Amino acid sequence: MKLFELQSFNDDGLKMIERGTPSPCLGEVIIKVESASINFRDFMIAKGLYNPNLSLPLIPLSDGSGEVVAVGDDVKNIKVGDRVSSVFWQDWNADVTTRMMSTGCDAAGVLSEYAVLPEAAVLPIPDYMSYQEAATLPCAAVTAWTCIMAANIKAGDNVLLLGTGGVSIFGLQIAKALGANVIITSSSDDKLARAAGLGADTTINYKDNPEWGKQAFEATGRGVNLVIEIGGGGTFNQSMEALTIGGHISIIGALSGVSTELNLLNMVFKNVHTHGITVGTREDHEAMNHFLAEHKIHPVIDKEVSFDQGAEAIIGIASGNHFGKIVVNINS
């Protein structure tokens, strides 16, 4: 079988190689991977920015979908022929309070014609979804879902989303399905127009409006209930400006810096809830799948690339030109 392997932390560190087709051990399933999708984390891993102490070589990508072609003797809940997607955290579920193994980082990923995963690290995909759509779910969609559930967002609440990458677009779709009002930011008017077409109630070009947090507050009349914060140090204080009293900031990334100076009194006066979100549990993924199926939500795929373009697509995601998700077709 063919697969990509991260052999060193640089732009040329991803190499396509060939290995024998795997067989399952106890507790494992073998998936013929149809499609995979790319997250910004995958770029950071490839560059050595996420964890420079990772053991190499490593098969990249956490997010993939395909058909089960073999299972270990003790596998009970997954069978040959099932359509499944990977699960981001292989060892985090409702009964486990710690986690150590994430697909495509601490454990082998899915940028491979065949992937070996523990039974606990796969879930059936919604029947109405294509393999390409299902491949976008494990990281970005579950992250957006977990942020929204943690803030208990309901109809009439206001949600602020930063940018138009995978997490923000899933956040838009999920929040609108719940009946929330959505504000979204971007530096591209074209992307903002696309977001409006998906239901965004207010769009803000943050380059034209550097006080976008204040503008978001004013657009709602009372502030937002949730900000899904991807920027980190460079955007956190504007996110604070946008919040209503008792609002939530879910911190999922730090694209513009890992530290900032906080006005603690402002946090006290607004009764701010801040929490870091690292995707979610297997149960979060499963609950999200049911919600997406109930509302027939189709993931937004910006573009699809061929298997041999996988390394280029991982490095290229740093440009930020995409809207939604980038998919790599492997056996499709």
- CB atoms near residue 73 (< 10 Å): 8
Residue 285 in domain: no
Place of tokens 């290229």: 316
For residues 17 and 108, state if they share a domain.
yes
Please state, in angstroms and as integers, the Cα–Cα distance from residue 90 to each residue in 9, 86, 102, following that order. Answer: 24, 9, 6
Gap between the Cα atoms of 278 and 270, Å rounded: 25
For residues 131 and 147, state if they share a domain.
no
**pLDDT value of position 271:** 92
User: pLDDT, tens digit, for every residue of 216-227?
Assistant: 999 999 999 999
Place of tokens 């502030």: 223
Residue 290 in domain: no
CATH number at residue 131: 3.90.180.10
Residue 289 in domain: no
Residue 22 in domain: yes
Helix (H) or strand (E) holding 219: helix 212-220
Both tokens of 95, joined, read 């009964």
For residues 109 and 181, state if they share a domain.
no
User: pLDDT, tens digit, for every residue of 1-41?
Assistant: 999 999 999 889 999 999 999 999 999 999 999 999 999 99
pTM for the full predicted model: 0.95
Gap between the Cα atoms of 96 and 177, Å rounded: 30
For residues 66 and 154, state if they share a domain.
no
Both tokens of 80, joined, read 């040959």
For residues 125 and 47, state if they share a domain.
yes
For residues 7 and 130, state if they share a domain.
yes
For residues 75 and 193, state if they share a domain.
no
CATH number at residue 170: 3.40.50.720
- Across-strand partners of 182? 159
User: pLDDT, tens digit, for every residue of 211-262?
Assistant: 999 999 999 999 999 999 998 778 889 999 999 999 999 999 867 677 778 7
Residue 10 in domain: yes
Is the peptide bond prior to 60 cis by the omega test (within 30 degrees of 0)? no
- DSSP conformation letters of 224-237: EEEEEE-SGGGTHH
- Residue 312: which domain range? 2-136+299-329
For residues 259 and 219, state if they share a domain.
yes
For residues 177 and 131, state if they share a domain.
no
CA dihedral over 18, 316, 229, 144, signed as positive or negative: negative
Provide the domain count of the chain. 2
For residues 65 and 98, state if they share a domain.
yes
For residues 112 and 160, state if they share a domain.
no
Q: Which residues of the chain have pLDDT under 50?
A: none
Environment class of 121 (CB within 10 Å of its CB; exposed 0-12, middle 13-18, buried 19+): buried
